[in-house]
Amino acid sequence: MIDTSISSCANSNASLGIDQACFSILNLYINPVIFYAIAWEAYTGTGVPLATLTPKSNTSLIISTKYPLHIYYQTVEPHKNYEYCHTTYTFKEYGSYGWNISSADICSNIYVIHEPRNSYFPILTAFMIYILLAVTWTTSKVIIRVIRGKLSPNNVYDDLNRLQEENTTHPVIRVTKFSSRIQSVDAFRGIAILLMIFVNNGGGKYVFFNHSAWFGLSVADLILPWFAWIMGMSITISKRAELRLTTSRVKITLCCLRRSAILILLGLMLNSIDSKSLNDLRFPGILQLLAVSYFVCAILETIFMKPHSQDILLQFGRFAIFRDILDSWPQWLIMAGIMTTHTLITFFLHMPNCPTGYFGPGGKYHYRGKYMNCTAGAAGYIDRLIFGNHTYSKIKDSIYGQILRYDPEGLMNTISAIFIVYLGVHAGKILLLYYQGNARLIRWFLWAIFTGIIAGILCNFENEGGVIPVSKRMMTLSYVLTCSSFAFLLYAILYFLIDYKQFWSGAPFIYAGINPIFLYVGHVLTKDLFPWAWNIAHPSHASLLAMNLWTTTLWAIIAYLLYRKDIIITI
């Protein structure tokens, strides 16, 4: 989090790196003091000691600008170790700041010596470039159609150009593997996978494009739940189609088992890239989590789903308006049982020397190290008990210090993912059981509001508050509901624009959404290889953002080429 070395950075920005600023502290106090700092969101009474400030001197430190910092100093007089001048400040990248300490509890406000740079300008520039390219591409296609004399409303709205006419009297329909796909589903999935590629490659080293420290929500924290959610919607669509083709439920079950096994194998293969031996091979992982959650929800739908919708009024009568819920009440009962079990384990499982219901990271700097060996609460305890060393290997946290091993895709988090997938399954039920676009949109919006409100109540509408705080690292229930709320909302918007009103074809995201697993595995294997990535001698937000966007764009181009060749790589 903070460079503890003393530096002469006050006179030059040359020594500053990404997310760093210079902080000069003038100690006019008659005694030396110890300077402390810690990210504000992690402050619970203890900071990280950075430097001892000698009396009557100026000390320059390189400090992090990733998060707002809580700073203070402590005296080192015999029997008088008091803390003074607690304050929180948001430092900006490449800025130079000053702070004067004159006596006990008498400090100046933090002042700016040299103005910081605008580190967000590269994002604005990149956004404008992509908008310009999109407008240019769309305009050129319209002009070409005008020149060819084939301009029509269908051509304007159908950028995929799946239905083309050779002349006005003999239309030729191009039938491909993609012709019967729901474009809004592919677009949603494509957004998730391209965001995942961008974030996994670094996201330009911007904080909001990386996972939150422990509590709270960032852009990166939405991606995996969205991918799981849209996978659930695909389960509903595919299983209904398979059952209508009179495929036996046993055969469907075996296909689900095969697909899950392949995903788990692929996940273990990708984990082996960072493992030195089988003794420390990580067993959980993203693909493993998706495999298990997919299998549970797919099997439930295979067992309980009706292949053909019966007459709604005869089946549900006056309650037909709730047919999406009533049609799948056994699945909802099972989901309620699963999440109730998950919650009871979280709040009542006994852990040695740890409180029940703990959601924190543990470590030296969370609650003054009181729960140092309680990382991730019940979820972390279960993962360490079952998987041992076969879990996520990172135990040095930049904010909380040394923490115990845990796995963000461990057993308890996989159970949470099952609920995310099933909420996507339910979104698919709305798509299948309601035939009017307005009825579908209203229900998706209502579910977005409902899940969002429940999530807010659980976390008290705070990052680290309420009965169940929002935490991606533990996939808490409030986090699951928050991400699902955004998923319902995003999909409703995509459906309205793409399938309902046909204002947009969904390009270029639909191409990536057709082969998502291929793109995910491919980007992991080529993560550090040219032409996807290269070494940058003096990295900055701008240079890293350009490289990460190029990587993402290259995979989008590969996805488009697969589409043009009519290739779908499935497992």
Contacts of 435 (CB under 8 A, 6+ apart): none
Return the closest-CA partner of residue 225 out of 90, 395, 427.
427
Show the tokens assigned to 97.
């700041």
Counted residue by residue, the chain has a size of 571
Per-residue pLDDT of the chain (571 residues; tens, 9 = 90+): 444 444 556 555 457 889 999 999 998 888 888 999 998 888 888 888 889 998 888 989 999 999 999 999 988 776 677 888 899 999 999 999 999 988 767 888 999 999 998 888 999 999 999 999 988 988 888 888 888 765 444 543 444 344 333 334 444 444 566 666 889 999 999 999 999 999 999 999 999 899 888 898 999 999 999 999 999 999 999 998 888 887 788 999 999 999 999 999 999 999 998 877 888 899 999 999 999 999 999 999 999 988 766 555 556 667 777 888 888 899 999 999 999 999 999 999 998 888 999 998 988 887 877 888 899 999 999 999 999 888 888 888 778 878 888 899 999 999 999 999 999 999 999 999 888 889 999 999 999 999 999 999 999 998 888 999 999 999 999 999 999 999 999 999 999 999 999 999 898 999 999 999 999 999 999 988 999 999 998 899 999 999 999 999 999 999 999 999 888 888 8
Instruction: Please give the residue range of the domain that contains residue 530.
Output: 185-565
Alpha carbon distances (Å) from 274 to 175, 278, 394, 432, 544:
43, 11, 12, 43, 23
Tell whether 105 and 233 lie within a shared domain: no
Flag whether 164 is in a domain. no
Flag whether 225 is in a domain. yes
Cis peptide before 225 (omega within 30 of 0): no
Flag whether 148 is in a domain. no
C-alpha–C-alpha distance, residues 8 and 22, integer Å = 9
Return the closest-CA partner of residue 376 out of 351, 339, 344.
351
Flag whether 126 is in a domain. no
Q: Which of 72, 93, 114 is the last residue of a domain?
A: 114
* Helical segments of 305-328, H only: 312-316, 323-326
Q: How many CB atoms lie within 10 A of CB 31?
A: 14
> Using alpha carbons only, how large is the chain's radius of gyration in Å?
27
Flag whether 14 is in a domain. no
Catalytic positions, written as ranges: 211
Show the tokens assigned to 565.
């060749």
Q: Is 494 helix (H, G, I), strand (E, B) or coil?
A: helix
Sign of CA pseudo-dihedral 126, 129, 135, 136: negative
Residue 507 burial (10 A CB sphere; 0-12, 13-18, 19+): buried
The structure's pTM equals 0.89
Flag whether 171 is in a domain. no
Tell whether 274 and 402 lie within a shared domain: yes
Q: Beta partners for 33?
A: 53, 75
CATH number of the CATH domain containing 45: 2.60.40
Tell whether 101 and 193 lie within a shared domain: no
Strand bridging mode 96-103 / 20-27: parallel
Flag whether 155 is in a domain. no
Q: Is 495 helix (H, G, I), strand (E, B) or coil?
A: helix
Structurally, how many domains does the chain consist of? 2
Q: Which of 82, 114, 146 is the last residue of a domain?
A: 114
Cis peptide before 352 (omega within 30 of 0): no
Q: Beta partners for 60?
A: 24
Tell whether 400 and 263 lie within a shared domain: yes
Tell whether 400 and 303 lie within a shared domain: yes
Tell me how many degrees the CA angle 49-51-55 measures, rounded to the nearest 5.
Answer: 125
Supply the DSSP string of 395-453, one letter for each residue: -EETTTEE-----TTSHHHHHHHHHHHHHHHHHHHHHHH--SHHHHHHHHHHHHHHHHH
Tell whether 379 and 524 lie within a shared domain: yes
C-alpha–C-alpha distance, residues 370 and 511, integer Å = 50
Tell whether 280 and 191 lie within a shared domain: yes
C-alpha–C-alpha distance, residues 349 and 342, integer Å = 10
Flag whether 326 is in a domain. yes
Q: Which of 88, 114, 140 is the last residue of a domain?
A: 114
Supply the DSSP string of 132-163, one letter for each residue: HHHHHHHHHHHHHHHHHT---HHHHH-TT--E
Phi/psi of residue 112, nearest 5 degrees: -95, 125
Return the closest-CA partner of residue 229 out of 569, 475, 571.
475
Q: How many CB atoms lie within 10 A of CB 458?
A: 21
Alpha carbon distances (Å) from 365 to 43, 47, 65, 532:
8, 7, 19, 38
Q: How many CB atoms lie within 10 A of CB 155?
A: 18
